[in-house]
Chains A and B, each alone.
Chain A
Amino acid sequence: MVSNGLMTTEMHSPPEHVVEELDRVTIRFAGDSGDGMQLTGTQFTRTTAVFGNDIATLPDYPAEIRAPTGSLPGVSGFQLSFSSSDIRTPGDQPDVLVAMNPAALKTNLGDLVPGGLLIVDEDEFNPANLKKAAYTSNPLEDGSLRGFQVVAIHITRQNELALEGLPLNAAGKFKSRNFYALGLILWLYGRPLDTTVKWAEERFGRSPETLDANLRALYAGHAFGETTEVFHTRYEVAPATVRPGTYRHISGNEATALGFVAASILSGLPLFYGSYPITPASDVLHELSKLKSFGVKTFQAEDEIAAIGAAIGAAYGGHLALTGTSGPGLALKSEALNLAVMTELPLVVIDVQRAGPSTGMPTKTEQSDLLQAMFGRNGDSAVAIVAPCTPADCFMMAIEAFRLALKYMVPVVFLSDGYLGNGSEPWRIPSLSDIPKLDWEYAKPVEGWQPYLRNPETGARTWAVPGQKGLEHRIGGLEKSGQNGDISYDPRNHHEMTLARMGKVANMTRDIPPLEVSGPSEGELLVLGWGGTYGAISSAVEAARSQGKSVASAHLRYLNPFPANIESVLRSYKKVLIPELNTGQLSLLIRGMFLVDAVPFNKISGQPFKIREIQGKIDEVLGLRGPYVLDFPQGSALSGG
């Protein structure tokens, strides 16, 4: 344990630091939710992304915005992993933990790798805070941290000294501590300060005192690393070699919003977004409500039902209609979603899944709405389902969702999740001109036109919108005659119309890409996943293969319908393992539809998979070890994977 005491202001020549090259580093910033840890993590991420590393992030924040300061439920964390090579997850375990108070230490220490670097704000380890974190003795003094490299720094007091003379009270100065910590960590990894300085100037430009305080803290933290001997080593992680192009950093929710605007441009139809605020989907509403210059209209509805109702109205009006929510909201929307199925209108429903059931754990991730999306409506009612597999993939899958909705006149559910939505990665910015336009057409007033005239190839009915002369007609939730659009209780008609509606979704099979396999095209084991678990599964399978195991992976981005080749892929392996963040929803579908005896691997902790968890299960299925059991270490606030 290194405790440097309070640094004096006396000048001395900077010590020599050894520089060590690393391939990958995982850092977690943890503090009280008022400590600005999300900002610290985001700024480090931006700097590191601009530096050229591959990077993946996982923010983790408490559901209570104002949990008591210093309390265990009030801890907020941000984990990021950066590397000189391709990475797909924010890391299983942090190598570095920055804990701004005892509660942050307590809830996060369980995840830190043995021997990992632990940086704490020593000033915050006072009796009051220790008590709030339920420590009976000070962990900085009782030897319980012996297995880690502990660097205890008087961040609060150092920061106060740096801000001396500024017209701020102690509480005001306290707010800049996160910049101090950021400066220190940027130094530790040899990162320049300019990205953060530029950002801070834009963000706090209107409040010169705040800007001054934050920049002083940032420089002071950086200088502290440079001038003291607290750290013997600083680290370097070389830039990753990636495809040439222009890059930016993007979260899943941002990519989702941008993807839907892209769909609007590619189709030439104005985007309408009806939504009711809900964690973790609200960011999509925030993003889209800024983009009015692209013709986007956002409707913040009085409830989830009104949000989808308004979107259905916009779809009926011939616009690109979108609604978005999370699991409980999808439950509320189900009756209206069925109306869109029945009236055969193009509509996309975003579900940024979170841990359920009921209110569950709003800020934690899960993949447990697959069956709700698939079956959660009365009657035989099919919707298409797509699921992005990385934060940046949300962009392309958003476009894909509308391609299918418009072409088949069917609602499409876009299953993102909290891990994808809030997580982020570098993104090679695409050019819209490289993406095919989205085809659609309104009904043509032909002789004998009626609302359920179908396209023989897709099965889609025609889209006649108010304002079109001569096509006045009535639609609704009651069954209609496929012959003339009138209300019909005719037995044969209902039979045929049900099959026609379901058939449109089945027809998409011809129109979606085949399931791609990574690894051997036949062999011992296929690991099949869907949605946000892509990073962990593909990393684990690659690792297993590099150890000479016969394992392939495949990842579903289309869940209804499944790609045409899925059954032949499944049958090419002796065993199929399906890891999911639910109790086995895809497994149930795969077993039920293909009679394949897939092995489910389920985690329902609100946390994403760790790579090593999937590796453990692979080894078990291959018979290389006994049963693999998930463990949830004490003091584990969030787990990257």
Chain B
Amino acid sequence: MTSTVSANGLLAGDLPVLTRKDFVSDQEVRWCPGCGDYSILAQMQKMLPELHVAKENIVFISGIGCSSRFPYYVETYGFHSIHGRALTIASGLKTARPELKVFVVTGDGDGLSIGGNHLLHAMRRNIDLTVVLFNNRIYGLTKGQFSPTSEFGKVTKSSPYGTTEQPLNPIRIALAAGATFVARSVDRDTKHLEETLFKAAQHKGISFVEVYQNCNIFNDGAYAAFAEKDVRQERMLFLEDGKPMRFGNNREHGIRLNGFTPEVVHDAESDDGLIVHDATMANPLLANILVGMDYPNYPVPIGVFRSVEAPTYDELVQKQVDAAKAKEKPDFDALLRSGETWEVS
């Protein structure tokens, strides 16, 4: 038995050492066999014991979609809500109960389409939530319509002639809304995914993780061109804080800046001139440059784009309440009598 204060400041008194199994619920998992969601669930369950937060203080909240079944499978408190609104419920819960560790599980339709507004506002408030957005670039649960992240021209059930609209980039949205922790990972790279989820969960303030998730039924191979094991090193750029940006099977290529435009330096012998990643810069300029890099013109950046400290909404609200209580002893009878009163005898 150990007593630990986690990064989130939760005091977990006499916390038994938990393992992955402790976070597996008795519910049968009902995603399609081969779905990327399984990997995300597994990495989450592996990561959770590392937080040293008691199970009863952890809550998973989701909206609607394949991803939103997630809470049923994690043995913590869970709330499977309505389409797009998970963040609103999570915001209320966290504001009322700042001591809880609250996760939000959402998808590209749930989080960026019907619930897009809430994502922006939770981010600008910097409310202490960990948001994991499963981006499969399709509507899976409703059986295959295009989503707000589907690529232009995509042929789906609801776009037999191809879509006529441009996709959103979730990372760009998060940066624009002022999220204090912004990261990307991919279902196929389990180690990277687990690490990224851990970093996100440790962050104080809003943490946003976009996970490239394969829907093998309605959008199979959406990320295969760069995320499969054999091509990953060549086609993805693993962001590492304080390190020059390098990629390739032998990390032989680099990225440098030409003005505001990133350039690939093939077979860069020296690190001189290569961008050194720094997610902690107050100004999100670098992150905003990186977010524009995409396959096949560039390797796809993956990892932590931004990680900065700022006061959280829930903590500021609590402080106001505590300060008000300290300043004036609450006296309801006096409150009722505030202003003009008169006696009738």
A residues neighboring B (CB under 8 Å): 46, 49-50, 52, 195, 199, 242-249, 258, 261-262, 265, 270, 272, 274, 291-297, 299, 301-303, 305-314, 316-319, 321, 335-336, 339, 343, 428-432, 466-478, 486-487
Contact indicator per residue, chain B 96-119, by CB within 8 Å of chain A (1) or not (0): 110110000000000000000110
Supply 27 A–B pairs (Cβ within 8 Å), ascending by A.
A195-B340, A248-B339, A265-B332, A291-B335, A292-B321, A292-B324, A293-B330, A306-B91, A306-B117, A306-B121, A309-B81, A309-B85, A313-B89, A313-B92, A316-B79, A319-B97, A336-B85, A339-B82, A431-B333, A466-B57, A469-B54, A472-B75, A474-B72, A474-B79, A476-B80, A477-B64, A477-B81
Q: Is B56 an interface residue (CB 8 A)?
A: yes
Whether B341 lies near A247 (C-beta < 8 A) is yes
In the complex, what residue of chain B is closest to A195 when comparing beta carbons? B340
A48 to chain B, nearest CB (A): 11
Chain A residues in 8 Å Cβ range of B90:
313
Whether A243 lies near B344 (C-beta < 8 A) is yes
Whether A305 lies near B340 (C-beta < 8 A) is no
Chain B residues in 8 Å Cβ range of A258:
335-336
Chain B residues in 8 Å Cβ range of A466:
56-59, 77, 93, 97, 100
Whether B327 lies near A293 (C-beta < 8 A) is yes
Bound complex: CA A305 to CA B83 (Å)? 11
Whether A301 lies near B88 (C-beta < 8 A) is yes
Whether A475 lies near B344 (C-beta < 8 A) is no
Bound complex: CA A306 to CA B96 (Å)? 15
Q: Is B2 an interface residue (CB 8 A)?
A: no
Bound complex: CA A429 to CA B88 (Å)? 37
Whether B336 lies near A305 (C-beta < 8 A) is no
B112 to chain A, nearest CB (A): 15
Whether B341 lies near A270 (C-beta < 8 A) is no
Of listed A270, A292, A428, A469, residue having the most chain B CB within 10 A = A292
Chain A residues in 8 Å Cβ range of B345:
244
Bound complex: CA A247 to CA B339 (Å)? 11
Q: Is B27 an interface residue (CB 8 A)?
A: yes
Whether B96 lies near A297 (C-beta < 8 A) is yes
Chain B residues in 8 Å Cβ range of A292:
320-321, 323-325
The answer, among B87, B96, B325, B337, for a CB contact under 8 Å with A429, is B337
Bound complex: CA A274 to CA B56 (Å)? 25
Chain B residues in 8 Å Cβ range of A248:
336-337, 339-342
Bound complex: CA A429 to CA B333 (Å)? 9
The answer, among B76, B92, B120, B343, for a CB contact under 8 Å with A274, is B92
Bound complex: CA A173 to CA B96 (Å)? 48
Chain B residues in 8 Å Cβ range of A475:
78-80
Whether B96 lies near A473 (C-beta < 8 A) is no
Q: Is B306 an interface residue (CB 8 A)?
A: no
Bound complex: CA A316 to CA B79 (Å)? 9
Bound complex: CA A477 to CA B71 (Å)? 13
Q: Is B95 an interface residue (CB 8 A)?
A: yes
A-B residue pairs, 9 tightest by C-beta: A309-B88, A313-B92, A310-B92, A476-B80, A313-B93, A292-B324, A474-B78, A313-B89, A314-B96
Contact residues, B299-345 vs A (CB, 8 A): 317, 320-321, 323-325, 327-330, 332-333, 335-337, 339-345
Q: Is B55 an interface residue (CB 8 A)?
A: yes
Q: Is B94 an interface residue (CB 8 A)?
A: yes
Chain A residues in 8 Å Cβ range of B336:
248, 258, 429-430
Contact residues, B234-262 vs A (CB, 8 A): none
Of listed A52, A270, A299, A301, residue having the most chain B CB within 10 A = A299
Chain A residues in 8 Å Cβ range of B58:
466
Whether B56 lies near A470 (C-beta < 8 A) is yes
Bound complex: CA A307 to CA B81 (Å)? 15
In the complex, what residue of chain B is closest to A480 when comparing beta carbons? B80
Chain B residues in 8 Å Cβ range of A295:
321, 325, 330
The answer, among B25, B88, B317, B335, for a CB contact under 8 Å with A297, is B317
Whether A309 lies near B56 (C-beta < 8 A) is no
Contact indicator per residue, chain B 40-70, by CB within 8 Å of chain A (1) or not (0): 0000000000000011111101001000000
Bound complex: CA A472 to CA B320 (Å)? 31
Known interface pairs A52-B344, A473-B78; A467-B56 also in contact (CB < 8 Å): yes
Whether A244 lies near B344 (C-beta < 8 A) is yes
Whether A247 lies near B337 (C-beta < 8 A) is no
Bound complex: CA A309 to CA B327 (Å)? 31
Whether A299 lies near B330 (C-beta < 8 A) is no
The answer, among A246, A249, A307, A473, for a CB contact under 8 Å with B77, is A473
Bound complex: CA A476 to CA B89 (Å)? 12
In the complex, what residue of chain B is closest to A312 when comparing beta carbons? B89
Bound complex: CA A326 to CA B344 (Å)? 36
Chain B residues in 8 Å Cβ range of A299:
91-92, 95, 317
Bound complex: CA A296 to CA B330 (Å)? 11
Besides A247-B342, A313-B61, A314-B96, 12 more A-B contacts (Cβ < 8 Å) are: A52-B342, A246-B343, A246-B344, A292-B321, A296-B321, A313-B92, A313-B96, A466-B57, A467-B97, A468-B56, A476-B78, A487-B72
Whether A476 lies near B325 (C-beta < 8 A) is no
In the complex, what residue of chain A is closest to B91 when comparing beta carbons? A310
Chain B residues in 8 Å Cβ range of A471:
56
Bound complex: CA A46 to CA B340 (Å)? 7
Whether B344 lies near A245 (C-beta < 8 A) is yes
B229 to chain A, nearest CB (A): 34
B323 to chain A, nearest CB (A): 8
Bound complex: CA A476 to CA B87 (Å)? 14
Known interface pairs A261-B332, A292-B320; A302-B342 also in contact (CB < 8 Å): no
Bound complex: CA A316 to CA B61 (Å)? 11
A594 to chain B, nearest CB (A): 35
Bound complex: CA A308 to CA B91 (Å)? 11
Of listed A274, A310, A428, A468, residue having the most chain B CB within 10 A = A310
Chain A residues in 8 Å Cβ range of B332:
261-262, 265, 294, 432
Bound complex: CA A478 to CA B64 (Å)? 10
Bound complex: CA A471 to CA B57 (Å)? 11
Whether A474 lies near B93 (C-beta < 8 A) is no
In the complex, what residue of chain A is closest to B327 when comparing beta carbons? A293
Chain B residues in 8 Å Cβ range of A270:
96
Whether A310 lies near B340 (C-beta < 8 A) is no
A512 to chain B, nearest CB (A): 25
Bound complex: CA A321 to CA B92 (Å)? 9
Chain A residues in 8 Å Cβ range of B121:
301-302, 306
A166 to chain B, nearest CB (A): 28
Whether B55 lies near A49 (C-beta < 8 A) is no
Whether A305 lies near B88 (C-beta < 8 A) is yes
Whether A477 lies near B88 (C-beta < 8 A) is no
Of listed B59, B336, B343, residue having the most chain A CB within 10 A = B336
Bound complex: CA A246 to CA B333 (Å)? 11
Whether B92 lies near A472 (C-beta < 8 A) is no
Whether B342 lies near A49 (C-beta < 8 A) is yes
Whether B344 lies near A313 (C-beta < 8 A) is no
Whether A478 lies near B80 (C-beta < 8 A) is yes
B48 to chain A, nearest CB (A): 12
In the complex, what residue of chain B is closest to A343 when comparing beta carbons? B79
Chain B residues in 8 Å Cβ range of A317:
92-93, 96-97, 100
Whether B79 lies near A476 (C-beta < 8 A) is yes
